[in-house]
Amino acid sequence: MNERDLTATVNGVQRSARVEARLTLADVLRDCWRLTGTHLGCEHGVCGACTVMVDGLAVRSCLMLAIQADGCEVTTIEGIGPESGGLSLVQRMFQQEHGLQCGFCTPGLVISVAALLADNPSPTDEEILDGLSGNLCRCTGYQGIIHAVRAAAAAIAGEPG
């Protein structure tokens, strides 16, 4: 077994593990660190359920080896909310606009939408569709999700200064 030591800052906390090289970041987040909010759907980069942020960029954690995250900052759904607890703006808007049903795809979608709005706080409808295209949802038909992104963008625009 080719095992290696891995240390990463996950949701602001430094974590270490000794991992097999073949394990993906998603595997280690879930199985070693018990951060099971990151969901695994397809495990080959199609569904987007496992989307997390690595050094501020949204990536599919099933398409990255865990050891590649050595020294990186990782943010998962467990770390997306405010430090004081509760939901992030994007999560609140998903709740308000019925942007989820079974909830399996939601962690990946919330991370993707957070990344989309950080990059482009006032996306056009076309940009919203493009930004959501990397995440599959089999329940909602996407309309509630689109409304949630629009509502989050409007809330950002309405925030003072």
Partner 1 sequence: MKAAPFEYHAPASVTETLELLGRYADDVKVLAGGQSLIPMMALRLARFDHLVDLNRVPSLRYIREQDGMLRIGAMTTQACIAGSRSIARAAPLITRATSLIGHFQIRNRGTIGGSLAHADGAAEYPAAALTLDAMFEVTSSNGARLVPAGDFFVSAFTTAVQPNEILSAVHIPAADGRTGFAVEEMARRRGDFALVGAMCAVGLDAQRRVERAAITFFGVGGVPVRGHGAEQAIIGQAAAQVDGTEIGQLAVADLDPAADVHASGRYRSRVARALAVQVVERALEEAVNEEGSQSRGSQ
Query: Which of 4, 15, 92, 150: binder of partner 1 (CB under 8 A)?
Result: 4
Question: Does the footprint of partner 1 cover residue 34 (CB under 8 A)?
Answer: no
In 3D, which of 159, 131, 161, 156 has the Cα closest to residue 146? 131
Among 8, 17, 29, 67, binds partner 1 (CB under 8 A): 67
Burial class, 41, CB count within 10 angstroms (exposed 0-12 / middle 13-18 / buried 19+): middle
Contact segment (CB under 8 A) with partner 1 among 58-66, 93-101, 138-146, 153-161 equals 58-66
Q: How far is CA 119 from CA 17, 112, 123, in A?
A: 32, 11, 9
Sole binder of partner 1 in the list 51, 91, 106, 140 (CB under 8 A): 51
The angle, 0 to 180 degrees and rounded to 10, between the axes of the packed helices 125-132 and 106-119 is 140
CB of 16 to partner 1, least distance (A): 17
Pick the binder of partner 1 from 5, 12, 21, 125 (CB under 8 A). 21
Query: What span, in angstroms and rounded, lies between the C-alpha atoms of 10 and 125?
Result: 32
Q: Which of residues 69-108 bind partner 1 (CB under 8 A)?
A: none
Size of the site for partner 1 (CB under 8 A): 32
Residue 51 or residue 106: which is nearer to partner 1 going by CB? 51
Q: Give 43 or 78: the residue with its C-beta nearer to partner 1.
A: 43
What is the SS3 string spanning 83-112?
A: CCCCCCHHHHHHHHCCCCCCCCCHHHHHHH
Q: What's the closest the beta carbon of residue 133 comes to partner 1, in angstroms?
A: 4
Query: From CA 77, how far away is CA 73, in angstroms rounded?
Result: 14
Burial level of 47, CB count in 10 A (0-12/13-18/19+)? buried
> Rule CB under 8 A: which residues touch partner 1?
1-2, 4, 20-24, 27, 43-45, 48, 51, 57-60, 62-65, 67-68, 112, 115-116, 129-131, 133-134
